[in-house]
Amino acid sequence: MHRRLVLLALLGGLLAAILLLRGPLGRWLYPDAALDGLLAAADAAMAEGDVLRAATLLQAAAARSPDHPRLPVERAEAVGIALARVDTLLGGPPPGPPLAAAARAEIEALLAAAAALGAPGDALEPRRRHLAERAEPSIEVLLQRALAAEQTDPEAALADYLRVLAREPGNTLARHGRQQVLSAWLGLAVAEIERGEWESARLRLRRVRALDPGHVDLPAVEARLAGRHGSAAEPLPDPALQAGRSREALRWLGLAEEALGRGALDTARRALDQAALLAPEAPEREALEQRYRLALSAAR
């Protein structure tokens, strides 16, 4: 009887050990061929310098087995390759010459991949700032350029003021400059009303309202148009109106693209929302929305 009890106890212990170790034993006896294939493919991609493909493969491997012991090493290697490539593309210290569009797009993709692989923020942020400085003039340069262009090219001046406001919404000089340009537009609208150029005046007023609905002089000019030729706010099917809205939408989309390039997701979101109000069907907007979602996902 005693030996039978000992035998039963041994059998019970063996069964418990098998149940406890069935995961590690299973992996040892039957390794995950698909996972091994992903890791091998990631190694091959890194050896070829294709770190973006390697990042995709490593993320797939992590989804399959997040605790695999090789993953931290593989991720760290991929991050190192990605950041080294970014540094090569950025060249020397900022500011440096403007970047070509292809180089900028590659840098953005590499930084997004490094973020998704767990690169620390103190490694990413300096490179994002460097990229922003190479891709976009400084705020001081934008303000100087806009001020110089106010009289000769108000459209260009306004575009620069809007670029500043996309990066610094509270910038006093840019807000004042925008108001100056829009006040000049309102003066032109008054002259058009007096000449009976109703459609042109209405288009100009709608552009002002889209950019600064709280402009102090806007209600008076809208009332003047309404008194001379019906409601200033009624919708117009005029193609010129649609063209004007499309131009403004493209400016906001450009601001959103610039903000995405330097990782300013809040600014990009505001610019995309403005573009959606002006031209919700613009094909460029959906591509930028997708980039925004990917960047937001990587940031989390």
Quote the pLDDT of residue 236. 42
- pLDDT tens-place string over residues 278-297: 666 666 777 777 788 777 77
With a cut of 70, say whether residue 247 has pLDDT above it: no
For residue 233, give both structure tokens: 């706010």
The one-letter amino acid at 202:
R
pTM: 0.43
What is the mean predicted confidence (pLDDT) over 200-214? 84
User: Are 177 and 146 within 8 A, CB to CB?
Assistant: yes
Distance CA 146, CA 292 (A): 28
Q: Is the pLDDT of residue 161 over 60?
A: yes
* Calpha distance 279→277 (Å, rounded): 6
pLDDT of residue 204: 86
Helix ranges (DSSP H) in 30-171 = 33-47, 51-64, 71-90, 101-116, 121-135, 139-149, 154-167
User: Which of these, 202, 178, 201, 203, lies nearest to 189 by C-alpha position?
Assistant: 201
Q: What is the pLDDT of residue 2?
A: 56
Note the pLDDT of residue 257: 77
| Mean pLDDT estimate for the chain | 77
Q: How far apart are CA 158 and CA 145, in angstroms?
A: 10
Q: What is the pLDDT of residues 79-129, one digit of tens each?
A: 898 899 888 888 766 656 667 767 888 888 888 888 888 888 888 888 888
Three-state secondary structure call for residue 297: helix
> pLDDT tens digit string along 250-286?
777 777 777 777 777 777 787 787 777 666 666 677 7
CB atoms near residue 65 (< 10 Å):
16
Q: Is the pLDDT of residue 181 over 50?
A: yes
Q: What local confidence, expressed as pLDDT, does residue 137 receive? A: 72
Model pLDDT for residues 53-90, shown as the tens digit of each residue: 888 888 888 888 888 888 888 889 988 988 998 888 88
Residue whose pair of structure tokens reads 């700032």 in the numeric block: 129
Tell me the backbone φ, ψ of residue 167, rounded to 5 degrees: -90, -35
Determine contact, residues 232/203, Cβ cutoff 8 Å. no
Q: What span, in angstroms and rounded, lies between the C-alpha atoms of 40 and 33?
A: 10
| pLDDT value at residue 235 | 43
Residue 21, number of CB atoms within 10 A of its CB: 11
Angle between the N-to-C axes of helices 283-299 and 101-116, in degrees from 0 to 180, rounded to the nearest 10: 40
